[in-house]
Amino acid sequence: MPKSGVVLNTRFRAILDFHKVKLSDEEYELLCKRFISKAKNEVNYVDFDKVLRYYSGDWEKEDTTKTS
């Protein structure tokens, strides 16, 4: 089954809860709004992951190890 890069909002919340990411309902709604997919009830987790990698510094490390 191919990966789509999106999950339902409820699944995304469950994943965050599992990883002990504590967010208020307002914070969660803002996060969903920022990473909304084509459907309003879906979150684009690929974009979310890219932003996390960028701000954690992992994105730069990943880019510097690539060869052209």
The token pair at 13 is 């919340």
pLDDT at position 68:
43
Q: Is residue 44 part of a domain?
A: yes
Q: Is residue 21 part of a domain?
A: yes
Q: Is residue 26 part of a domain?
A: yes
What number of other Cβ atoms are within 10 A of residue 53's Cβ?
15
Phi and psi (nearest 5°) for 38?
-65, -40
Q: Is residue 1 part of a domain?
A: no
Reported as a single tens digit per residue, the pLDDT across 11-43 is 999 999 999 999 999 999 999 999 999 899 999
Check if the beta carbon of residue 27 is closer than 8 Å to that of residue 35. Answer: no
Q: Is residue 59 part of a domain?
A: yes
CA distance linking residue 36 with residue 43, whole number of Å: 5
Q: Is residue 14 part of a domain?
A: yes
Q: Is residue 17 part of a domain?
A: yes
Q: Is residue 34 part of a domain?
A: yes
Domain interval for residue 12: 6-64
Reported as a single tens digit per residue, the pLDDT across 44-65 is 999 999 998 998 887 665 554 4
Domain count, the chain: 1
* Full-model pTM: 0.72
